A and B are shown apart, each in its own frame.
Chain A
Amino acid sequence: MSAFSLDFQKTFFQLFGLGQSFHLDTQLLERQYRAMQMVVHPDKFAHLPDAEQRVAMQQATFVNEAYQTLRSPLRRARYLLKLNGVDTQEETNTAMPMDFLIAQMEWREAVKEAQQARDAELLSELETRIQAETAELEGQLADRIDTEKNYAAAAELVRKLRFMEKLAEEIHAAYDEIDN
């Protein structure tokens, strides 16, 4: 498959011409992503034979994957740690500070109660608080990765953020449940 025109060996940061850091100019990322899709998207190749279209599909898929990874703070952090050879151990390392785990349990119960009470306003309130907590953790993550280069501490924050992501998913599911 020599026709790949994008270098799949590049990091996602290099692909978009961005510096390799947690802190990111998201507007610039968005503009670069759109500019790149303007060139590689399969719609630009639809009048060409199948082989050509397949290559375009792979390129656009790669660009989408890169964009989605960098756009999400959690996925971006995970990817940065991987580039630095650090495993985030999200499946294996379940040791979490007790207060964090207790807070998580309390959040979950609150979500469940709001769902049972079919209280969309309460859910929205919880969502706002969870988003604030998530933003706080992301701020810490930027310090650990970009400033201190303390990747072990960053990995623990990634594991915490994974919990927050699951909570957000549960809130989403609770909204859907209330709607039904």
Chain B
Amino acid sequence: MALLQISEPGMSTAPHQHRLAVGIDLGTTNSLVATVRNGISTVLNDEQGRAMLPSVVRYLDAQNILVGEEAQRTQSEDPTNTISSVKRFMGRGLADIGDISRFPYRFLDDSAPHGAQVRLRTVAGAKSPVEVSAEILKMLRARAEASLGGELVGAVITVPAYFDDAQRQATKDAARLAGLNVLRLLNEPTAAAIAYGLDNGSEGVYAVYDLGGGTFDISILRLSRGVFEVLSTNGDSALGGDDFDHRIYCWLLEKNALSALGPQDTRLLLTQARTAKEQLTEHAEARITVMLSGGEIIDNVLSQAAFHEMSNNLVQRTLQPMRRALRDAGLKVQDVNGVVMVGGATRMPQVQRAVGEFFAQTPLTNLDPDKVVALGAAIQANLLAGNRGEDDWLLLDVIPLSLGLETMGGLAEKLIPRNSTIPTARAQEFTTYKDGQTAMSIHVVQGERELVSDCRSLAKFELRGIPAMVAGAARIRVTFQVDADGLLSVAAREMGSGVEAMIEVKPSYGLSDSEITRMLQESGQYAKEDMQARALREQQTEAHQLIEAVQNALAQDGDLLVKAERERIVEQVQMLQDSLQQTDAALLKRAITNLNDATVSFAQARMDKSVSRALAGKNISELEVKS
């Protein structure tokens, strides 16, 4: 596919092939799907005209599932089989969740392997958070395909900026399980900045304060001439609007001297707490009236002042990440040109007040805080799918938490520091500490603390087959690569002798490709024939795109080629066109590969030309500015 890489910034693919792509905000409380239609980012509503899909999944029995409003409305009827706020469990083990009595679910306490995720026991069997999230995503995918009238090319899925590798991997797995092609995992505050920045043509330094249902992010970005550069990010991936509900819930328990409620009553009170919280945004007080399963009647009035007081330390907990993000960006409060509020929880007046006081300016709330993330994700999805419009822009994001390895004494050695711009890679050499040592165990961790035990363990693997040498003679080179989704892969190689051993790490919590395929097949989503038909269709689409790109490239830059090379490319284009007449996916794939191979050096020449033109262009504009 070498030739397609030369597509110029700002150059759109043929207008007739607008590729259907969506942005999905997979939220703790609500999820949304948006797309760019006629150049405008729009949230797609369901048939009843509702934009937000409550992130609630109810398993009715082995086959039937309710997702969204219906599941949410009836959740106190069957709380153990109705999963809400599942995002809080993504990429998490039982130990991470802490007090499980807080939730009305039956957690599976099987002796899980290292790093494994929690699972919940439901009438439909044990379900992982990945599977539950996939149900929400399937619903949104169906909504988008019905609304857009075609199959999606891909989707951008948003994640909290402060999500670690395990949480990101789990999100990507969920999307694949829902049959979505993930174009990119995009950080939620960055998505909001795109929607906001492109809408307002903003320049300068912006802080995005994103308090969602279960996660908190703060990102500092610099917007300058079409580049969104994230300078730093920080947050708390277990703090959100849910915690405010929980404060009210605890207050109700205390007020009524209640203890050890059953799952139904717990759910009922949490729902009431949430309604009260929402009322207190506009009103001075909220009345909570409810009858519990045992017949007790609860009737309390909560004032705004009391609510603000009981939730004050939650608001305060967001200030520390804000200070850290500013320090990491090397900026002071006064350097920030604007503060954007994102997430439903930022509607609470005490949150707006605290943020306003911190930054000494009124936060911007002119875009709907519930929708702005999905709108930004859709804009990014449209760009990534290849539907480039006139304006070209670029996003440079960072990893939120340092990545490192365990070294002697249980200490974490950082290889890639937090807030490094991605994609990024770092290699480090380690050595053996015993004579004749032939294996080395490598433990990959993420976090800022010095002790491995205080960091998140991402993966453990053994590098075997190191030639026996005296201690300190072997050289083991460990390479970390973080891709544009913020996902890590690790490779290790023994360099000391000619012998090489190399391992690609699949994090232990991630699902393998074969597991995803098996789960897809089991779900009956695709019959085997469908899979084959789909494969052929994908190859055909790819072939058409490749031919078009090659022909465009030849027309534009054919002069970069010598005659023989040009003839070889033209010949391969013809072969591919011939293969398109048949329905043999394997043959087609070979022809695509051949044309790709024939165009590698042409692509390289064109890339070099674009790079030098890009650089030269900047030089010229600089001269103009100075003169």
The A44-60 residues at the B interface (CB cut-off 8 A) are 44-49, 51-52, 55-57, 60
- Are A34's CB and B394's CB within 8 A? yes
Known contacts A64-B423, A175-B327; decide if A44 and B615 are in contact (CB<8 Å). no
Q: Could you tell me the distance between the alpha carbons of A65 and B384 in the complex, rounded to whole angstroms? A: 24
Known contacts A2-B600, A38-B614, A49-B542; decide if A61 and B327 are in contact (CB<8 Å). no
- Are B611's CB and A39's CB within 8 A? yes
Q: Could you tell me the distance between the alpha carbons of A46 and B484 in the complex, rounded to whole angstroms? A: 10
- Are A57's CB and B394's CB within 8 A? no
CB distance from A99 to the nearest CB of B (A): 29
The residue among B324, B423, B542, B617 with the most chain A CB atoms within 10 A of its own CB is B423
The A1-33 residues at the B interface (CB cut-off 8 A) are 2-6, 16-17, 28, 31-32
Known contacts A43-B383, A61-B425; decide if A3 and B481 are in contact (CB<8 Å). no
Show 16 residue pairs from A and B whose CB-CB distance is below 8 angstroms, ordered by the A residue. A2-B600, A2-B601, A3-B5, A5-B5, A5-B604, A38-B392, A38-B394, A40-B607, A43-B395, A44-B7, A45-B5, A46-B154, A47-B19, A52-B1, A60-B484, A179-B323
Question: Is A76 an interface position by the 8 A CB rule?
Answer: no
B-side contacts of A52, CB under 8 Å: 1-2, 4-5
Question: Is A172 an interface position by the 8 A CB rule?
Answer: yes
Question: Is A42 an interface position by the 8 A CB rule?
Answer: yes
Shortest beta-carbon contacts, A-B, top 6:
A5-B607, A47-B386, A46-B384, A42-B484, A35-B614, A52-B1
Question: A residues bordering B, Cβ < 8 Å?
Answer: 2-6, 16-17, 28, 31-32, 34-49, 51-52, 55-57, 60-61, 64-65, 67-68, 172, 175-176, 179-180
Known contacts A36-B614, A37-B396; decide if A61 and B423 are in contact (CB<8 Å). yes
Question: Is B320 an interface position by the 8 A CB rule?
Answer: yes
- Are A68's CB and B323's CB within 8 A? no
CB distance from B589 to the nearest CB of A (A): 11
Chain B window 403-430, contacts with chain A (Cβ cutoff 8 Å), 1 for yes, 0 for no? 0000000000000000011111100000
Q: DSSP class of A's interface residues: helix, strand, loop or mixed? A: helix
- Are A3's CB and B483's CB within 8 A? no
| Other-chain residue from B183, B229, B614 in contact with A46 (beta carbon distance below 8 A) | B183
Q: Could you tell me the distance between the alpha carbons of A90 and B1 in the complex, rounded to whole angstroms? A: 44
What is the count of residue pairs linking A and B with beta-carbon distances less than 8 angstroms? 126
Question: Is B43 an interface position by the 8 A CB rule?
Answer: no
A-side contacts of B183, CB under 8 Å: 46-47
The B82-117 residues at the A interface (CB cut-off 8 A) are none
B-side contacts of A17, CB under 8 Å: 615, 619
- Are A28's CB and B622's CB within 8 A? yes
The B431-459 residues at the A interface (CB cut-off 8 A) are 448
| Other-chain residue from A16, A39, A68 in contact with B421 (beta carbon distance below 8 A) | A68
Known contacts A2-B601, A46-B183; decide if A34 and B421 are in contact (CB<8 Å). no
A-side contacts of B604, CB under 8 Å: 2-5
Chain B window 601-626, contacts with chain A (Cβ cutoff 8 Å), 1 for yes, 0 for no? 10110011011001101110010000
Question: Is B227 an interface position by the 8 A CB rule?
Answer: yes
- Are A179's CB and B615's CB within 8 A? no
Question: Is B153 an interface position by the 8 A CB rule?
Answer: yes
Q: Could you tell me the distance between the alpha carbons of A156 and B381 in the complex, rounded to whole angstroms? A: 50
Output the nearest chain B residue to A60 by Cβ-Cβ distance.
Answer: B423
Question: Is B385 an interface position by the 8 A CB rule?
Answer: yes
- Are B615's CB and A34's CB within 8 A? no
- Are A31's CB and B421's CB within 8 A? no
Known: A48-B4, A57-B483. 6 other contacts (CB 8 A): A2-B601, A36-B615, A40-B607, A44-B5, A57-B481, A61-B423
A-side contacts of B423, CB under 8 Å: 42, 57, 60-61, 64
B-side contacts of A2, CB under 8 Å: 600-601, 604
Question: Is B262 an interface position by the 8 A CB rule?
Answer: no
Output the nearest chain A residue to B448 by Cβ-Cβ distance.
Answer: A176
The B470-522 residues at the A interface (CB cut-off 8 A) are 481, 483-484
B-side contacts of A47, CB under 8 Å: 19, 153-154, 183, 384-386
Chain B window 321-334, contacts with chain A (Cβ cutoff 8 Å), 1 for yes, 0 for no? 00110010000000
The B212-256 residues at the A interface (CB cut-off 8 A) are 224-227, 229
CB distance from B19 to the nearest CB of A (A): 7
